[in-house]
A and B are shown apart, each in its own frame.
Chain A
């Protein structure tokens, strides 16, 4: 009796042979030929076609460049290593696991752990040294014992070493899974990495496929070229791999995102670029305010600042646009995205105010805040700049309406905060008759007061609309418009504070200093609602 799948097997026999050769080839890699990590500049031509190679990673298809950068960031918290781009670092690490274990890439942030492992950047081999590993364990256990005796220095009763140890473990894990996660073999749903496909084929869990085999062959060629440090062969293999993967994409009718845009976004880092523009804008505005008496040239510096601010906004909008296209949704799903959006919104509000009312203070405030916000967004570990897929709760059109209006209102309140601060500082140092030169350059107290009111008059209706839209969304998703979740309650508190500002200003004539103080309190509430609640008061909005 003819065994099942006999015809199928005979058709694929040649491929199976290739597979076996590959498998053997992978096992029998030349011993002693050290893989260079990172790859040298002679590899630049070979790496070029790989930059836009599609890789499926955490729910999205991304360029290999993005894959390499996110992995290098996850391991070392840096975009480059020894002045070489991420792809030149990550690629050889995937190919030569033993070599990868010896590269000191893992960032150790905690000083005591750094002392144990002997540096702030360690290799996987160092991390796995049993005596050091045990020392790390002892550190943890000793703190645990201290905590039990009530002598520990950890806050909140949690072992202070747990988080940094987990962090290093995660970084080590990332290195271990570099090859396994490099999913370049297209499929309708879940792509496979060459390592996974080989594993499946060996286990017999997957039937060999001609298209897959070609990709495996090209990948193997590339691996060999990297192992033998042969850039010419690497360039050919890279181009071949790229073509094979795109052939598979076409054959399997897999939809691809705009990979060039993805690589462009990763290389340009538009939000970081905007931070540079903002700092230049702040310097120009500052110069114009301080030295305008020295001549018209200095006064014109204000317009240079305006131009830099506009460029910063353009760069921010470019970043938002790229993320929107790449994610296929509005980039408002996490703190990083909402923060960058709010910054762009704030700069836009400031530019509009400045263009209409020629109010320098708006531009200056936005430039300073924009720079600070961008630094915060890229430096604080709570902000994740990766493009992540949406959780079902956020997969709604209401996300766009609700978050956009709320973020725009926060933008306006951020401006109001700076203006109120300027008012209080100027008022404290003699008001309009101040002798301090920098304060003299600020608008009059009356103008600051009116400007502050105007900004709040824009922010308050936006906040109200945002809260109402959020209530409609909550009713759609959870069946109740209001549930006193901490985020909801704090948005109500913020609303009440600004409502009080408007009422006492209009009806009781509270202007100037008192109004400025309420505006400061209001912004403190905004900050707590936006950031503080997420970390201190867990609830349904913890992702926001």
Chain B
């Protein structure tokens, strides 16, 4: 509103003009919307992130938007906002004649009369000679600059957070601990290969070479892996076909990459014989791989072999494969307990909670819980509960009695964990039978001791025995039972399954899968190929750790013998065949030492013994057995979160100021003399072309004979 010639600013200078241009700003908004739409059409999300949202050009667009907003805000502050607060009066006739809304009214009163009229309508008024300025809610002018500044803060801090923030996952089995934060896991995901086509072409090229090399090794192992899609006439396995498809010139769905990643994980990386010195002789391995190789082959764990294979693969194809990365957290996370509870009479979890301890933090963290929506912060890392796959082995559900009342908890063999509700009390359980326990209670000179079952103080005679002891290798290992066999399967009234005849027209077997003697699941398998296909799609088959098939049925009615093939879901090993009669149970796998140990505790067994020297002392009672879970936690560290939040708050405040504060500004000039008149012009939040109701009220008081038309009145009346 200044009448003096404004100085030349940066936005008047040609090379910089565009940065202050509205056209550029709006174009950027539209372009960003367009590319964001394109990004949402790319599936899966990690591919969209790699191709669009996490690319330098997308980030540049966002930064450019922030820059143009900063420039526009600067210009707006200098040209509009500051003058509105500083030069409050309009002193040229042109300002009144050209602007909308504007009016020239016949008026013989004084400037003080005008001020009084406006004050009566709730305006604040400033006067200078013949000029006046009336306003309401002028603070609203600051809304847009504040909102823009907030958004700039969010964009810039979000961009910076992309560089400084860290994120990874921690996977820990109940009762165990870890210090490793996995940033990029060893197992391949589709997003970990930068260019699938390039990678597959490189492997394909290598495998045709006469000498042994990593590509040849990959090809060979893909060929040995299972083929879920049946026999291929070309003799190639599913994995090999996928590799050739991805290496070819034809466009193939991105899902192929995900499938090949799975094949590489199961058929290549998970194998102990993928890395051989001959195949990788031309590859320079990193020190970490050398260290693993320095140890004897038989002493290497499965995880170490996976790590070695991954490092070897990365070293062989560094251009295409992202480096897997794990870092030391700097502190230990121990999962004391994991609990999942369900809404009654549903399979929907109501909550899943990890109880964690960090013994080496200062001060040590004991028994803190993490659950979805309730994170925990330790040493600058925020821990979020993500997932909970079932892990190997079982845990004991025990009850600690005679302290402050019974306390229920779960404990793994070999674990030491705090007792909930008893400050400082720790329960330790030995890793091997007879499972001696030690309960340390603060204030007690000596820890309490006993055995969970058997042992010197316990009652061996009442120690429970395995429910499936008759089955070799059962217990916590898997076994199957032929629960029901129907030679001529039919669905009868009441949705019961039966047989139309004793002839083998449509043989079907109900296979019950047992773990630790307890039925885990059951499913029907069919002999006829068309029934196999149909039922695979139509029956609601539960996800199971094992896959079964009815291979053939031998013998005479009613003493049929069923040959069932079984293999672990997702396993590359060939399916094993078992011959069963109805009601018979066979073990699928030998139990692990730990599993064998836990197999000696029957889940429905009556309470086992407690051991203590006197009845006043605390006792630990075995209640049952529960599966052990892995807890998967996402750990994040983003020091810029407060800045992002600050920018967001500023933006929201600015928007509320801009849109909710009803801003009305009116300038007037009372011209005395022969042609006494009142020149009025105004500016409103809605940038309307007509006077609003408040201004009209004041003007009608001053000039009762004038006729005013108000757009606001018309639109509100809407008649």
Q: Which residues of A contact B (CB under 8 A)?
A: 56-59, 97, 101, 124-125, 128, 130, 133, 137, 140-141, 144, 159, 162, 165-166, 169, 172-173, 176, 181, 183, 189-191, 357-361, 389-393, 395-396, 398, 443-444, 446-447, 450-451, 453-454, 457-458, 460-461, 464-465, 468, 471-473, 475-486, 489-490, 492-493, 496-497, 499-500, 503-508, 533, 537, 539
Interchain nearest-CB distance for A171 vs B (Å) = 12
Contact across chains for A393 and B491 when beta carbons are under 8 A apart: no
Contact across chains for A58 and B346 when beta carbons are under 8 A apart: yes
Contact across chains for A130 and B491 when beta carbons are under 8 A apart: yes
Contact across chains for A360 and B718 when beta carbons are under 8 A apart: yes
Knowing A479-B382, A480-B636, A482-B158 touch, does A461 contact B655 (C-beta < 8 A)?
Answer: yes
Query: Which residue of B373, B538, B714 contacts A476 across the interface (Cβ within 8 Å)?
Result: B373
Residues of B within 8 A of A444 (CB): 714-715
Contact across chains for B530 and A141 when beta carbons are under 8 A apart: yes
Query: Which residue of A97, A130, A173 contacts B490 across the interface (Cβ within 8 Å)?
Result: A130
Interchain nearest-CB distance for B425 vs A (Å) = 26
Contact across chains for A472 and B645 when beta carbons are under 8 A apart: yes
Contact across chains for B494 and A176 when beta carbons are under 8 A apart: yes
Query: Which residue of A140, A183, A461 contacts B656 across the interface (Cβ within 8 Å)?
Result: A461
Contact across chains for A176 and B495 when beta carbons are under 8 A apart: yes
Interface: B252 (CB within 8 A): no
Residues of A within 8 A of B167 (CB): 479-480
Contact across chains for A59 and B348 when beta carbons are under 8 A apart: yes
Show 7 residue pairs from A and B whose CB-CB distance is below 8 angstroms, ordered by the A residue. Answer: A59-B343, A453-B686, A476-B373, A477-B384, A484-B48, A490-B40, A496-B30
Interface string of B688-719 (1 = CB under 8 A from A): 10000000000000000000000110111110
Main DSSP-derived SS at the A contact region = helix
From B8-16, B31-39, B396-404, the one touching the partner chain is B31-39
Measured CA separation A268–B241 after assembly (Å): 60
Contact across chains for B715 and A159 when beta carbons are under 8 A apart: no
Across the interface, name the chain B residue whose C-beta is closest to A133.
B491
Residues of B within 8 A of A162 (CB): 537-538
Knowing A443-B718, A480-B167, A481-B641 touch, does A507 contact B22 (C-beta < 8 A)?
Answer: yes
Contact across chains for A392 and B538 when beta carbons are under 8 A apart: no
Contact across chains for A391 and B349 when beta carbons are under 8 A apart: yes
**A166, A169, A359, A493: which has the most chain B beta carbons within 10 Å?**
A493
Contact across chains for B493 and A125 when beta carbons are under 8 A apart: yes
Interface: B26 (CB within 8 A): yes
Given contacts A169-B538, A190-B344, 9 further A-B contacts (CB under 8 A): A124-B493, A128-B495, A140-B537, A141-B530, A169-B540, A391-B349, A447-B714, A481-B641, A539-B45
Residues of B within 8 A of A392 (CB): 349-352, 371-373
362-412 of chain B: CB within 8 A of chain A: 371-373, 375, 382, 384, 386
Interface: B652 (CB within 8 A): yes
Interchain nearest-CB distance for A102 vs B (Å) = 10
Across the interface, name the chain B residue whose C-beta is closest to A158.
B537
Contact across chains for B534 and A475 when beta carbons are under 8 A apart: no
Contact across chains for B345 and A393 when beta carbons are under 8 A apart: no
Measured CA separation A128–B346 after assembly (Å): 27
Interchain nearest-CB distance for B317 vs A (Å) = 28
Interface: B513 (CB within 8 A): no
Contact across chains for B493 and A101 when beta carbons are under 8 A apart: yes
Measured CA separation A183–B660 after assembly (Å): 53
Measured CA separation A57–B346 after assembly (Å): 8
Measured CA separation A272–B96 after assembly (Å): 56
Q: Which residues of B contact A (CB under 8 A)?
A: 22, 25-26, 29-30, 32-33, 36-37, 39-41, 43, 45, 48-49, 53, 158, 165, 167, 343-346, 348-352, 371-373, 375, 382, 384, 386, 490-495, 500, 530, 533-534, 537-538, 540, 634-636, 638, 641, 644-645, 648, 651-652, 655-656, 659-660, 686-688, 711-712, 714-718
Contact across chains for B22 and A508 when beta carbons are under 8 A apart: yes
Residues of B within 8 A of A503 (CB): 22, 25-26, 29
Measured CA separation A443–B712 after assembly (Å): 12
Query: Which residue of A58, A140, A358, A393 contacts B372 across the interface (Cβ within 8 Å)?
Result: A393
Across the interface, name the chain B residue whose C-beta is closest to A442.
B718
Knowing A477-B373, A480-B167 touch, does A447 contact B715 (C-beta < 8 A)?
Answer: yes
Residues of A within 8 A of B530 (CB): 141
Residues of A within 8 A of B537 (CB): 140, 144, 159, 162
Contact across chains for B40 and A57 when beta carbons are under 8 A apart: no
Residues of A within 8 A of B652 (CB): 461, 464-465, 468
Q: Which 6 A-B pairs have the closest CB atoms?
A: A59-B343, A447-B715, A479-B636, A389-B343, A396-B373, A461-B655
Knowing A392-B372, A479-B634, A539-B45 touch, does A454 contact B686 (C-beta < 8 A)?
Answer: yes
Main DSSP-derived SS at the B contact region = helix
Please report the number of residue pairs spanning A and B whose Cβ atoms sit closer than 8 angstroms.
200
Knowing A144-B533, A162-B537 touch, does A451 contact B715 (C-beta < 8 A)?
Answer: yes
Contact across chains for B491 and A479 when beta carbons are under 8 A apart: no
Measured CA separation A472–B647 after assembly (Å): 12
Interchain nearest-CB distance for A474 vs B (Å) = 10
Knowing A59-B343, A133-B491 touch, does A479 contact B384 (C-beta < 8 A)?
Answer: yes
Query: Which residue of B40, B375, B659 contacts A458 across the interface (Cβ within 8 Å)?
Result: B659
Measured CA separation A164–B634 after assembly (Å): 40
**A57, A125, A361, A391: which has the most chain B beta carbons within 10 Å?**
A391
Residues of B within 8 A of A183 (CB): 345
Contact across chains for B26 and A500 when beta carbons are under 8 A apart: yes
Residues of A within 8 A of B645 (CB): 472
Residues of A within 8 A of B538 (CB): 137, 140, 162, 165-166, 169
Knowing A392-B350, A478-B634, A496-B29 touch, does A56 contact B655 (C-beta < 8 A)?
Answer: no
Contact across chains for B350 and A496 when beta carbons are under 8 A apart: no
Knowing A140-B538, A504-B26 touch, does A172 contact B495 (C-beta < 8 A)?
Answer: yes
Residues of A within 8 A of B716 (CB): 357-359
Residues of B within 8 A of A159 (CB): 537
Residues of A within 8 A of B350 (CB): 59, 389-390, 392, 395
Across the interface, name the chain A residue whose C-beta is closest to B165.
A480
Query: Which residue of A101, A144, A166, A475 contacts B494 across the interface (Cβ within 8 Å)?
Result: A101
Query: Which residue of A361, A398, A475 contacts B718 across the interface (Cβ within 8 Å)?
Result: A361
Across the interface, name the chain B residue whose C-beta is closest to A188.
B344
Contact across chains for A140 and B659 when beta carbons are under 8 A apart: no
Across the interface, name the chain A residue whose C-beta is closest to B688.
A450
Contact across chains for A486 and B688 when beta carbons are under 8 A apart: no
**B346, B495, B533: which has the most chain A beta carbons within 10 Å?**
B495
Query: Which residue of B33, B372, B634, B714 contacts A493 across the interface (Cβ within 8 Å)?
Result: B33
Knowing A485-B45, A507-B22 touch, does A141 contact B534 (C-beta < 8 A)?
Answer: yes
Across the interface, name the chain B residue whose C-beta is closest to A299.
B719
Contact across chains for B687 and A479 when beta carbons are under 8 A apart: no
Measured CA separation A439–B372 after assembly (Å): 54
Residues of A within 8 A of B43 (CB): 537
Measured CA separation A101–B348 after assembly (Å): 30
Contact across chains for A461 and B371 when beta carbons are under 8 A apart: no
Across the interface, name the chain B residue whose C-beta is closest to A362.
B718
Across the interface, name the chain A residue whose C-beta is closest to B143.
A461
Across the interface, name the chain A residue whose C-beta is closest to B58.
A484
Contact across chains for A97 and B37 when beta carbons are under 8 A apart: no
Knowing A457-B659, A507-B22 touch, does A391 contact B348 (C-beta < 8 A)?
Answer: yes
Interchain nearest-CB distance for B513 vs A (Å) = 21
Residues of A within 8 A of B158 (CB): 481-482
Residues of A within 8 A of B644 (CB): 471, 481
Residues of B within 8 A of A484 (CB): 39, 45, 48-49, 53
Residues of A within 8 A of B33 (CB): 493, 496-497, 500
Contact across chains for B40 and A500 when beta carbons are under 8 A apart: no
Knowing A446-B715, A447-B718 touch, does A475 contact B348 (C-beta < 8 A)?
Answer: no
Measured CA separation A413–B20 after assembly (Å): 30
Measured CA separation A519–B158 after assembly (Å): 29
Across the interface, name the chain B residue whose C-beta is closest to A487.
B40
Residues of A within 8 A of B687 (CB): 505-506
Residues of A within 8 A of B32 (CB): 496
Measured CA separation A357–B718 after assembly (Å): 9
